[in-house]
Structure 1
Amino acid sequence: MSTLQLSLIVIGVLVLAAVMAYNAWVTRQSTSRKAAQREINAPASTEGGQRIEPVLDGEGQAAAESPADAGDTVPPLPTMPLADKRLGLDPLIDIIAPLALEAVVSGDAVLAALPRSRRVGTKPFAVEGFNASSEEWEAPRAGQRYQALQAGVQLANRSGALNEIEFSEFIVKAQAFADVMAAAPEFPEMLEEVARARELDQFASTHDAQLGFMLRARRAAWSPGYVTQSAARLGFVPGALPGRMVLPGDVDNAPILSLQFDTQAALAEDPEQSALREVSLSLDVPHVARSERPYQRMREAAASLAQAMDGVVTDDNGQPLAQELMDRIGADLESLYDALDGHDLSAGSPQARRLFS
């Protein structure tokens, strides 16, 4: 091993040690703040054996105001539980750090304090507020009032599991936001959360599936217009990119299947002069609810297009797909759906779409 390689290894170890030391320091600072917050919020006295709660003054009124500016008197702020929500931050796939507030804050103040970047490394970062009116967690909105805040980062996605450096970046970003909001954060232990991220990533990597069929011309090539018209008869609509069409779902119009052909042919000055000999039909399994029957509809669409356009359904290597093989794939998918359901990550759910992205 060369001197340069040894030097790079030593530097890498020192950098990682510095990051972990900083993370430990931030955690200790958070613990100190929480202890001080508990002292501040302790009851001043008792009467007749009944606890007399302290009253906190001040409410955030606008984006430019401090969250603890003097104003109306507000009742004591209760500790908000981590709600078992299905649309926003979720303990199943997110690290969630509660941010205790001294007073109710305005949504405008929260929006003004949010960091510019909503990512930590390759993972989404988010802040939510507990709405004083609806008593639900939600993404901050102007004109709303929040009794508590929480910051979160996703444990894993298709880029991999959250690592120690990303966790430390999350701590730094959440702490900076908490400082602006005069909030006391409560951060979980890094090693426990990183281990949880790796476990979730392992599950996701063994239960991910993206299926693709190829439709190849038997004889004459197709024009982009001919492909588009044929697909439109089956319910496909133009996608966001040239050469892409999608089949909307029955529930929320979210795409079920994707049909793609050569982008250059779609962008040609005279598309009708372009020759296509193949198109692809794909299904991102974790993104589509089982109730939509996505695989059955994929097979039906492939068979219909093949018959209408004089084509043959093949795999990526050009080998025709036998019905028996397609049946086995369908059986495997049912097992995959069951496994996702068993981990509360049902295909098509917000959690599954976020994890497999």
Structure 2
Amino acid sequence: MMSSLQLGLIVIGVVLLLVVWGYQRWQTRSLAPRRVETPAADSGGAQPALDRLDPTLDSDSVDTNDRPAPASASATGVLSERLDVLVPLRLDKPLPGDAVLQSLPGSRRIGSKPFFIEGLPDDAAAPDAWEPLRPGHRYRALRAGVQLANRAGPLNEIEYSEFVQKLGNWAEHILAAADFPDMMTVVQRARELDQFAAGHDAQLAFTIRARRAAWSPGYVMQHAARVGFVPGALPGRMVLPAAQPGGAPVLVLQFETQAALADDPELAVLREVRLVLEATHVPREERPYQRLRELCAALATAMDGLVTDDAGQVLDTDTLDRIEGEVEALYAALQAHGFPAGSPDARRLFS
């Protein structure tokens, strides 16, 4: 028979084994990435819908693309006196839009700058009713334009010379006469616009970092969907749609593309996600910075994270308030210079 001492040692050994096993299980669970939370089935077997906290939007129509949509043509067309070099093309007689479209150069880019052709309809009552070329319309006048500046820099002498040559050859083909502005005047305008753009471009990025347990991509996407984000066009991206169709996303949520493309995304590990605001692309009326703050705080609370800058420094209230003041000053400056945030001209300039 076992003595009481032997029995006691066996009991202690079993208890120790259970403690070690439990600790290892706890440690494994605490270090594993948090995964999608599956709602418990009710008594009828149905899965209840996730609670969704939708941001306040002015319209039910949204654009789910995570890339800014092209600036839409207004009644005056695509070209802008502030943003483009405008070149009138005089015609001897009205031309059909179909013929003009078929004759256009195959590439309508000059270096890193796009150029556009617009027409004045033959039946237009207003002298400034320019529109993008359309089949079935006849045009009594045309005009061309090349963008003065974008994020790739200002239009330079070589690019302007290429534009003059390409447009001049095309104008001869359709029997039109082109009036080109002076090169040095154009280049100076381009440099001044580029200097303005360089001083007023702003992309804000806040990082949400996991405090303890990492996250899986599905876990992040689940929580982001609850506050209004939808999948973007690229892996590892979600977007907060604009209120108006065609508008740039208000915010973009980014995480590692490699994790999003993993064979089993639920085993991928994320320790941070970024929320990005292209301040120049989003209208002030969308309250983009305020929503950036609100959604960062909401996601950080829900996923047990911290809101930091790219260097890992926690963003406190004073810092966030200071940044808000700078964003408001930026919006005022853009408005004063004729490039209000979110406008077609602003989105073209800061692209």
Kept after mapping to 2: 8 A contact 1:283/1:298: yes
Specify the alignment match of 1:255 in structure 2.
249
Kept after mapping to 1: 8 A contact 2:76/2:131: no
| Residues 1:278 and 2:268 are matched in the alignment | no
Trace 1:287-302 onto structure 2 (pairs within 5 A): 287-302=281-296
Among 330, 338, 342, the residue aligned to 2:332: 338
Structure-2 separation of matches of 1:147 and 1:331: 49
Q: Equivalent residue of 2:301, what SS? A: helix
Structure-1 separation of matches of 2:311 and 2:233: 27
| TM-score, reference length from structure 2 | 0.76
| Residues 1:113 and 2:92 are matched in the alignment | no
Structure-1 separation of matches of 2:204 and 2:103: 42
Kept after mapping to 2: 8 A contact 1:222/1:276: yes
Specify the alignment match of 2:219 in structure 1.
226
Q: Equivalent residue of 1:305, what SS? A: helix
Specify the alignment match of 1:198 in structure 2.
191
Q: Equivalent residue of 2:181, what SS? A: coil
Kept after mapping to 1: 8 A contact 2:209/2:271: yes
Structure-2 separation of matches of 1:117 and 1:262: 35
Trace 1:1-357 onto structure 2 (pairs within 5 A): 87-135=77-125, 136-252=129-245, 254-357=248-351
Kept after mapping to 1: 8 A contact 2:248/2:281: no
Specify the alignment match of 2:58 in structure 1.
none
Structure-1 separation of matches of 2:87 and 2:190: 15
Kept after mapping to 2: 8 A contact 1:87/1:350: no
Q: Equivalent residue of 2:239, what SS? A: strand
Quick one: which amino acid aligns to residue 127 of structure 1?
A: I
Kept after mapping to 1: 8 A contact 2:77/2:118: no
Q: Which has the larger radius of gyration?
A: 2
Q: Equivalent residue of 2:313, what SS? A: coil
- Provide structure 1 residue ranges, at least 5 long, that are not aligned to the other structure: 1-83
Kept after mapping to 2: 8 A contact 1:287/1:347: yes
Q: Equivalent residue of 1:95, what SS? A: strand
Greater RCO (Cα-Cα under 8 Å, separation 6 or more): 2
- Cα shift at 1:217: 0.4
Structure 1 runs (4+) greater than 4 angstroms displaced: 84-87
- Cα shift at 1:260: 0.5
Quick one: which amino acid aligns to residue 105 of structure 1?
A: L
- Cα shift at 1:240: 0.8
- Cα shift at 1:87: 4.8
Q: Percent identity?
A: 60
Structure-1 separation of matches of 2:310 and 2:85: 38
Quick one: which amino acid aligns to residue 252 of structure 2?
A: S
- Cα shift at 1:176: 1.4
Q: Give me the CA root mean square deviation.
A: 1.2
Kept after mapping to 1: 8 A contact 2:76/2:130: no
Q: Cα distance 1:134–1:307, how it changes in 2: closer, same or farther (>3 A)?
A: farther
Structure-1 separation of matches of 2:130 and 2:231: 35
- Cα shift at 1:251: 2.5
Kept after mapping to 2: 8 A contact 1:86/1:351: no
Quick one: which amino acid aligns to residue 305 of structure 1?
A: L
Q: Equivalent residue of 2:276, what SS? A: strand
Structure 1 range deviating more: 158-167 or 171-180: 171-180
| TM-score, reference length from structure 1 | 0.75
Q: Cα distance 1:312–1:86, how it changes in 2: closer, same or farther (>3 A)?
A: farther
- Cα shift at 1:169: 0.6
- Cα shift at 1:85: 6.6
- Cα shift at 1:133: 3.4
Q: Deviations over 1:271-322 (max 9, x none)?
A: 0010100000000011000000000000001000000000000000011001
Structure-2 separation of matches of 1:93 and 1:335: 22
Kept after mapping to 1: 8 A contact 2:297/2:307: yes
Kept after mapping to 2: 8 A contact 1:106/1:146: yes
